Structure 1
């Protein structure tokens, strides 16, 4: 393989990532124009609530206005003794939610704006609400589910994937980290799968989203409307009733071929090679392995932000013993340090704005990222800026 082919294989994942992220551009995060009211559709049908993310042209990317509409409604429904279920879904046929409003956040961060503080804080409070919700919460992750979309789904009781689902946490490619509770759920996927997904941004699709543990169920896309109807027809349901309906629809989803988990042939390698306590050890393990698969992972890691990879690995390693609440508080500190540092802006520039797919990370090497710098990321914020849950 020549140099041209090598470069193409190296940059192709970031080009695809840029296409997805580019849909998330939002120009008026605080606008109160009437059309903003339609970005989230809220319905109450008998004792059930339906939340529809309604920005299909932007792949239902999450912005602050949407968060501020969803959170109070979920709180109200939770406190209503008659409510029995909430369904979260995305409009259109491409995406559940492809991520968050990161361009607006970085634009705000450059000028010390409030959005760079409020967005992460209110998003994480919503993530915690979903993770502690007292009535059954069902996310239809039909289509692209990344970043903010992961936070709106993975902490809930039930997550239903389809053959159109594309799940990924690609934040290390833009100088961020797998937030929205990634430090809590990724280490609980088993073995080192969560570390692998977080560092490489690997995309899981279709049934593999369920086989990995990210989704609780798989239902083929053409049955989703019938599934919703069946759930809405449940009378006074308890979680077991919801589970029975989902189990039935999953068992009937036989038109989509059921294959082995796509990463099953590599799980031994993932658990062994990504078992290093430091990113340097993981890189060394991959270099020593020398297989084509290991070389591919090395090429991917070499494109990612060294700072992002180091804070990501520490977040996941330590997340094994943290509660969701503790994890989100740590993640909020990390988010604000990303705003104060350099790589987040550079990653957004390279992938979303200039689209040259050649970020200039600072530091540019793993060795250049000191323990003191990583410790600073995890250090407490001033008391009045900490996330309170």
Structure 2
């Protein structure tokens, strides 16, 4: 069934896995024609593929089966010595992977249950698969703001640190726990300290990106061959999604960020023309980082973000989205380099950055290209609803 789903699209999934089908499974369980154990085995695989490929469907939530499972979760959790931990974990996996819009009561049961499953350090394939499913369910469930992640910080740290030492998780499981951790952490500085300085997210993300770009069959993509989607592409998209949260909310000032920026530049260059989703997400990360007032501009530039934007901005085939991203990057950098600082060292550093940028623009002939954005900024304001300054060249021209 998993092999069939790998060739299925979202429309095909929605046609087969309907509320009517889930209700039929519910009826079969009621009549004793299908055991709960076998039903859970089937539904875990359906949910796994649904979440892996990012398919949207509300059919399970509207089914009798969903109501049955959620009641079973609450009832099973109330048990003490007779509690069936495996049954509870499987119910939680199915409900979170197939459903949406979870109650605080349900999440307060499922989150600790699935983190306990994810803490399993066995390295056999069966255990790794269950850990992978548990983390995939966790990172994709919505409404997690109802549960304070700080309550589970130690468990999350332990899972990540153990993997960093022993490499016991699958690639998907490792990417998933980072995505779960970074999602909606609301800039809590204690979390950020753990993410940046204790767990070294930038270093880990760099390593994963470097390995993934070597594993994707880019030649097949370049030739436009369809068929089975590669898991590595899904993983790459997952890391880029996690990085967007990181770039928006964290203080990007340690040395590890330079290597990460360099890896994202590599991802963009190799994916360009082969996977539009990957290349678009990659370059938009630099826009997010430029908007982050706590991100070090020199780190972005040393990593090669500025060079990449320069290269793209002069392309005759530049599409609207990329043009908007590039212009936004320059506007944000311009604004930040023009800021007044009391610290003389910061002032000197800012002037040096401005001078270096100007010299590069003048040398490569980029200044005229940037100036042309005066003509199209009103269009981007209307199209994307973002208030772009018309003084995009002020910083760069008037050093």
Q: State the TM-score, normalized to the length of structure 1.
A: 0.32
Bigger Cα Rg: 2
Q: Which has the higher strand share?
A: 1
Q: Higher RCO, 1 or 2 (CA under 8 Å, sep at least 6)?
A: 1
